[in-house]
Amino acid sequence: MKKNIISLDSQRGAALLEALISILILSFGILAIIGLQATSVRLSTDAKYRSDAALAVNQLVGEMVSGDRTTATLQAAYQTNGASYAAWRTGLSLPGVATNQPTVVFGANGLVTITLFWQAPGGGPVRRHQVVTQIVGCSGVC
């Protein structure tokens, strides 16, 4: 009988130690899940900004194509100081657009390069979405 009592005495505190170790492992798991959630939210927000940038640039290209496509008219309306450019820029909802001005550059053969910059709130790198398209001009009524 005495042997059982001695072996029970040597086991005292083992259950408490096992419980503490399991709580520690559970805590690490919960911290990992919280970290994954934070990363998921950041990446989801970044994807939304990229999608908004693509939509805004496509909207500008659509306005260019649907209007008067003569080169002189396009350049007057959509270069940095043009009225149509200013109206489009005011409608942009991306963060950081006020400090990082979008550019519209007209090249040879009707090539137009539109570059839109944004920066996530709280800092981080300045992101960029650039589209190069060809807008075929027309003479007279299009």
Residue 104 confidence (pLDDT): 93
The mean-pLDDT minimum among 3-17, 92-106, 127-141 falls in: 3-17
The mean-pLDDT minimum among 38-47, 70-79, 126-135 falls in: 70-79
The residue among 77, 53, 57 whose CA lies nearest residue 133 is 57
Q: Does some domain include residue 95?
A: yes
Q: Does some domain include residue 28?
A: yes
Q: Does some domain include residue 74?
A: yes
Q: Mean per-residue pLDDT for 14-33?
A: 94
The residue among 88, 71, 89, 77 whose CA lies nearest residue 134 is 71
Write out the two tokens for 92: 């942009």
pLDDT band at 118 (very low <50, low <70, confident <90, very high): very high
Residue 6 pLDDT > 90: no
Q: Does some domain include residue 101?
A: yes
Q: Does some domain include residue 44?
A: yes
Which residue segment(s) compose the domain that 75 sits in? 2-134
Q: Does some domain include residue 141?
A: no
| 51 compared with 110, residue with greater pLDDT | 51
Residue 48 confidence (pLDDT): 94
Domains: count for the chain: 1
Q: Does some domain include residue 18?
A: yes
Torsion-angle region of 123 (φ positive above 0: left; ψ -120 to 50: alpha; else: beta): left
Residue 69 confidence (pLDDT): 80
The Cα–Cα gap between 73 and 140 comes to 12
Tell me the pLDDT of the chain averaged across its residues: 86
Q: Does some domain include residue 108?
A: yes
Q: Mean per-residue pLDDT for 66-77?
A: 85
pLDDT band at 3 (very low <50, low <70, confident <90, very high): low
Tens digits of residue pLDDT in 40-62: 998 999 999 999 999 999 999 99
